[in-house]
Structure 1
Amino acid sequence: MAGVVVVGAGMGGLAAAARLAAGGHRVTVLEQAGTHGGKLGELRRHGFAFDTGPSLLTLPQVYRDLFAATGGPLDGVVDLVPVEPTCHYRFADGSEVDVPHDAAAVPAALDAWSPGTGGEWAALMADAARLWDLVGEPVLQRPLGGAADLVRRSASVRDLLALSPWRTLRTVGRRRLSDPRARVLLDRYATYSGSDPRRLPGLMTVVPYVEQRYGGWYVRGGLRRLGDALFDRCEELGVRFEFDARVTAVETSGAGVSGVRLAGGARVPAEVVVSDADATRLYRDLLPDRRARRPRRALGRVVPSLSGFVLLLALRGRSPRPHHHRVLFPADYDDEFDSLFGRAPRPVPDPAVYVCSPDDPAVRPDGHEAWFVLVNAPRQGQVDWTAPGLAERYADRVLDVLAARGHDVRDRLLWREVRTPADWERDTGSAGGALYGSSSNGPRAALLRPANRAPVPGLYLVGGSAHPGGGLPLVAMSARIAADLIGPA
């Protein structure tokens, strides 16, 4: 059997390890942290439990396929439940709308909130469905080595024109949606890839389409249970894990990869290396091989995604109007993107605030609530989040913003935990704590991330910084692509 080393036990690395082990490979996973899951983290304290990463699963079929292909059904190991409504939105004028889990019910809900918007949104999603047909299977779920591959995958010039790479998500919203609040709602989906709607290709209307077509889902006990189930599946398949094992180099010979070097000098030989590390870190720091010069140069032009500032709030009592997911928009959404992507990045003064508060007894003591609060933030390095007092002052600011938007929880606060971009960088190894790998600001960035097959034979990339991108479904797709390229033992 071929020896495979997987660098990183994030969800992409775990998914790749499971598929390769199921295919007969002898797999070792090396993880610099003390546990598995990567950005799909968890904090447990005093009866409260918080997902510290993703809080919503879309495209659950990707994980159903993964588990079915590696030994047993997903629904046998986790309890996957629909989130209803998928999200509650509050706008600067005080108006509110719930977006239902059922895609068929979305137009009526939007019409009740803003007459005429439901029909406009339905027409926009119908066009997004055609775009999904173009990119879902042909592009996102197959290896992509560059622009030439993208052209070859397109059945005709008409297909390429349908992608409209010269239009941005913002342009699409202005052309297709007459209510400015509906445009804000569409802009929000740019942040799913850590991007700016003014630069994100209009192709990314597929993001709300996928969320609404396939629904938003939650795993009882927290999404971390999905990572635990995948880790358990790997162990059942004989995958060997080494934690607190920091890889400092991917070693190569003329024929390709030969193994990896660990901090402290130990060497682990391998015929195949699958990297779940950030692609920039891989090519810049771990792989001095001259064959990596081209992707190294390309990554030098890539803008990493935005990061996030997170509050984990243990709250006394229950809210009168609980929602699993809610987004509270500011009056000036453009100021947020100027703050994040402008020439002088700064913490957003008046940010959009995302709150996840599952009504799940497994994550809170009876009668209380556990709130995960996220605001988009500049990366570590753009702002020094380790500066004395900055994190706590900004945490207070976020609580003030929540209060101003009708959710004053300051007098209910039992305790809080603050996570900054500096923490994400330290814990996950991502550049500056970028949550989504590279941003999708521009057509090339959106569709032409680093290839899953590296130019060095035997080296493969998975995870959010490689094709097809970040997010739970996409990193699992990257793992399937890599495993198919490697093939069975």
Structure 2
Amino acid sequence: MARVVVVGAGLGGLAAAARLAAGGHTVTVLEQAPQVGGKLGWSSRDGHGFDTGPSLVTLPQVLEDLFAATGDPLDQVLPLQRLDPAVAYRFADGTTTSVPGRREEIADRLDADLGPGSGAQWTALLTRAEAMWRATEQPFLRSPLAGAATLAKLARQTADLRTIAPGRTLRGMGRQYLTDPRLRMLLDRYATYSGSDPRRAPAALLTVPWVEQAFGSWYVPGGLRRLPEAVAHRATERGAVIRTSAPVAEVLTAGGRASGVRLADGEVVPADVVVCNADAAALYGRLLPPSAPVRGARASLRRVTPSSSGLVLLLALRGRTPGLAHHTVLFPHDYDAEFDALFGRRGPKRPVADPTVYVSAPDDPATRPDDDSESWFVLVNAPRHEPGSGVDWTAPGLADAEADRVLAVLADRGLDVRDRVRWRVVRTPADLERETGSVGGSIYGTSSNGARAAFLRPANASPLPGLFLVGGSAHPGGGLPLVTLSAQIVAGLVGPA
């Protein structure tokens, strides 16, 4: 039996705590915020409620595995509601389409909305994506990685290597299979799921739309905040102790291994194993002492591109919007200009002038005070908070000016709600950094920019014995299913008591 300290009560940390406690370890979870959830946040006021992080569940089998391994099955704990359509899309030329909730209906929908042949092209692309998934699911997503050595091992399996196409980009794959620029936009958007640029992100990200469309998109009635609450309850059922408002200031070392943590108030919590659900850049840059034997991990982080962040508007609205989907994406005229702004190409990093706008508006009574109201979570991609070298999101007036811009863009694209706003809350990358500890407000830690970046994220087993990483900034990446898989990998590395 090991004494395990988990730093951070995001989904990855909580899932690791539940698995390790069920395995017989003594587990303490330390969370800086007053509540669990991490980026799976919730905000409420005057009867309006908002999920402030992820707004859908994909690959629900991963959650089913977690609950089955630690106690009662998922369907006895938390209901999931299938979304249909999963997403509605609006393009700058005025055309619209949507992704039906069931895979077999997608091709016909695309043919009807974007023209004959569109469905066949998308289907051919997803057939390639399915082959990529089969080649990568076990060796990459469900197993610990050993950096470039993992790719070298795969290179000996030439058929799988050709399928994954490690030297190709997501954009390049779209050009091979898709002729309609609107279909290419749909594909490019999946790079943003890891805060990346489709022109540099690896072709392996094709697996993201395949998973979403093969296994469906799901919502948790009452808000996705119920998911980390349920996992936290499961962890405590198995004996874990969860302490909120307990920020960790330092990961301690002794005898060449992790030995516990020091809290901001000076309290020391000893441990045999430390599992860090904090951002990997924060762990290696701030939480570990300079003398820790993690020089290689620190150097690797300096070589990668951090993921982008986001600017969020929480809109409490009067009235209802007819025909509004659960998720709506409104594309700009020039998608490349957005990625140029986010990553500092053709000029410095800057707020996006004509951004893609993502609206999450669940038709859920738990999110609104009455049936003549709506609560919208509105997100646009944004560069990180980097005062001095990039965008300073605390600059006076910047957040409100950008929020006004987003509302104007919505109006230009047919969703003018400016006269319906009861109140709004603006959340910037600086707010995300302060609230979650994610450096610069990077949503996913490191991006997948670069041919091998998706395969070379910070490893789950750190170079320091006894220290492990979970969460979106570590392998296998961001998003609810991958974060949950990171916890499964770490539990396997630690082993049973």
Place the TM-score, normalised by the shorter chain, in its bin.
over 0.9
Residues 211-230 of structure 1 correspond to what in structure 2 (within 5 A)?
211-230=212-231
Which deviates the most, 243-252 or 379-388? 243-252
Say which of 346, 349, 356 aligns to 2:350. 346
Gaps of 5+ in 1: none
Are 1:364 and 2:386 counterparts?
Answer: no
How many residues were matched structurally?
A: 489
**Alignment-derived partner of residue 18 in structure 1:** 18
Matched ranges for 1:135-150 at <5 A: 135-150=136-151
CA shift for structure 1 position 255: 4.3
For 1:290 and 1:317, how far apart are their aligned partners in 2?
56
Which residue identity is paired with 1:36? V
Q: Pairwise mapping of residues 80-479 of structure 1 onto structure 2 (< 5 A)?
A: 80-113=80-113, 114-153=115-154, 156-288=157-289, 289-343=291-345, 344-365=348-369, 366-381=371-386, 382-479=390-487
Kindly indicate whether the alpha-carbon contact (under 8 Å) linking 1:144 and 1:150 is maintained by their aligned counterparts in 2: no
Deviation of residue 280 (structure 1)? 1.0
Residue identity opposite 1:295 in structure 2: A
TM-score (norm 2): 0.97
Normalised by the length of structure 1, the TM-score is: 0.98
Aligned counterparts of 1:342 and 1:472: Cα–Cα separation in 2? 28
Query: Structure 2 CA distance, aligned partners of 1:323 and 1:370?
Result: 13
Please identify runs of 4+ aligned residues in structure 1 that moved more than 4 A: none
Give the conservation status (yes or no) of the 8 Å contact 1:102–1:215. Answer: yes
Contact kept in structure 1, 2:169 and 2:451, CA below 8 Å: no
Q: Matched residues in 2 for 1:321 and 1:264: separation?
A: 51
Name whichever of 149-158 and 390-399 sits farther off: 149-158
The equivalent residue for 2:53 is: 53
Letter in 2 for 1:371: W
Contact 1:139/1:150, CA 8 A, preserved across alignment: no
DSSP 3-state at the match of 2:283: helix
SS in 1 for 2:452: helix
- Three-state SS of the structure 2 residue aligned to 1:443 is coil
Most deviating of 36-45 and 236-245: 236-245
* Aligned equivalents of 2:112, 2:206: Cα separation in 1: 22
- Shift, 1:443, TM fit: 2.6
CA distance in 1 between partners of 2:460 and 2:413 (Å): 43
SS in 2 for 1:252: strand
CA distance in 1, matches of 2:89, 2:487: 33
Deviations 1:396-440 (A, max 9, x none): 110000000000001111111111000000000001001111100
Offset of residue 155 of structure 1: 6.2
Q: Deviations over 1:337-395 (max 9, x none)?
A: 01101251111011000001011111112221111100000000121111111111111
Distance 2:9 2:359 in 1: 27
For 2:76 and 2:327, the matched residues in 1 are separated by: 26
Higher mean alpha-carbon deviation, 254-263 vs 207-216, is at 254-263
Q: Secondary structure at the match of 2:443?
A: coil
Separation of aligned partners in 2, 1:415 and 1:277: 32
State how far apart, in whole Å, the 1-side matches of 2:89 and 2:490 are.
38
Unaligned runs of 5+ in 2: none
- Of 116-125 and 248-257, deviating more is 248-257
RMSD: 1.1
Structure 1 distance, partners of 2:425, 2:83, is 25
